[in-house]
Structures are given as C-alpha cells and as structure tokens.
Amino acid sequence: MRVIAGIARGTRLVAPKGLDVRPTLDRVREALFGILAPRLEGARFLDLFAGTGANGVEALSRGAAAAVFADSDDRSLEAIRRNLEATRLAARARVVLLALPKGLSTLAAREQPFDIVFADPPYDFSQYADLLGGIRAESLLAADGILVVEHATRVDLGADWGGFARGRCRAYGDTALSFFS
C-alpha cells in the first residue's frame, strides 16, 4: 500500500499488526480521489474508521489543508501516526481515539465542520442510520460538503440516509463508494 499522488507520492504505508484491517484498494482510492479532486485543495478532511489512515494521508498529499483521523483501536492509531511521520504530513493532522458512531458528539465538540467526510466502516457494520444521522445531527459536514461512505456492494444504502441525499454510487468489485450531500 502506498500514497498514489501528491507531495507524498510513492511513500509506503504500514498497516496495524494483528488486526483485520481492510485498507482501501489503490484502484478504489485512485477513483475516489479522481472524483474528489476539485474539492481537495484547502479542504478539511475527516477520515472515520481510519484504519491505516491511507485515505486521509492521500487527501493531505493531494492538497487538503487538514485531516482528522478517527478510529477505535490504538494499534490503528499508531499505524496512522507512523504513516503521517513517514509522509511528513503530521503537522496538518490530528489522530483521535473514538468509538463510532457514538463518539461523533465528542468529535463535534472539538472540531469545525469538515468539507469532506470519509467513512469506511467494517463490511459487517450495521449502524449506518446512526452513523449518518450522527454526522448530520452533530453538524460535522459543512453546508456544501460531501460525505463518502465506502461499503460492501451487497449493502444498499439507498438514496436517503440520516438527512443526506445520495448523489452517486460507484462499484469496484466487492467495494462501493456512495457519495452524499
């Protein structure tokens, strides 16, 4: 796994040891950031269920002003910190231990709304209504922001969740990206 583009292009990223982390495949990340490209410069990026932090690191590498990485496992957070140091992007990042979705209110108390919120919960995750509803209720997404959820293609998120309307859904093998505003 590596950073695909931007100032940290080619930097190898580490994954937490001993965890069943499912990093976003390079081809899916490439497609995601191709779609997000016009919104990245100077954006505030929130990486929920961050795992390795590859998506937030990619956003920073491509011009996002700041990124917050949230995950519930200390080993993931340590891998994210190592990846931020390796890419020299740590100064524009914050790493937060947070149980999701219930920890969204804690995050909202410390942060301004984000231009891009990216959520990549485990494929067996079932609390999408709580997650998307919490993001809306806590005003974590800026008024003109975009919310992207990575999920298994077998999961149908539908057109409306938690007050968000889905604009598009793209499938890449077993992985889907749903874009909400």
Displacement of CA 137 from its chain's centroid (Å):
18
What is the average per-residue pLDDT within 109-129? 94
Q: According to the model, what pLDDT value does residue 46 have?
A: 98
Q: Cβ neighbours of residue 147 under 8 Å, at least 6 residues apart?
A: 116, 117, 118, 119, 132, 135, 141, 164, 179, 180, 181
DSSP symbols for 126-174: --HHHHHHHHHHTT-EEEEEEEEEEEETT----SEETTEEEEEEEEETT
Report the amino acid identity of residue 49. F
Question: What is the pLDDT at residue 18?
Answer: 66
Averaged over 16-27, what is the pLDDT? 74
pTM higher than 0.75, yes or no? yes
Predicted local confidence at residue 68, as pLDDT:
98
Query: Any idea which residue has 């081809």 for tokens?
Result: 27
> Over pLDDT 70: what percentage of the chain?
97
- What is 26-180's CATH number, 3.40.50.150, 3.40.50.1100, 3.20.20.70, 2.60.40.10? 3.40.50.150
Give the per-residue pLDDT at 19: 58
Radius of gyration, alpha carbons of the chain: 15
DSSP code, position 5: S
Residue 103 has pLDDT above 90, yes or no: yes
Q: 157 pLDDT band (50/70/90 cuts)? A: confident
Is the pLDDT assigned to residue 119 strictly greater than 80?
Answer: yes
| Alpha helices (H) along the chain | 26-40, 54-61, 74-87, 104-110, 128-137
Strands 93-97 and 66-71: parallel
Is there a contact between 3 and 87 (Cβ–Cβ < 8 Å)? Answer: yes
Cis, peptide link before residue 122, omega less than 30° from 0: no
Q: pLDDT tens-digit profile of 37-76?
A: 999 999 999 999 999 999 999 999 999 999 999 999 999 9
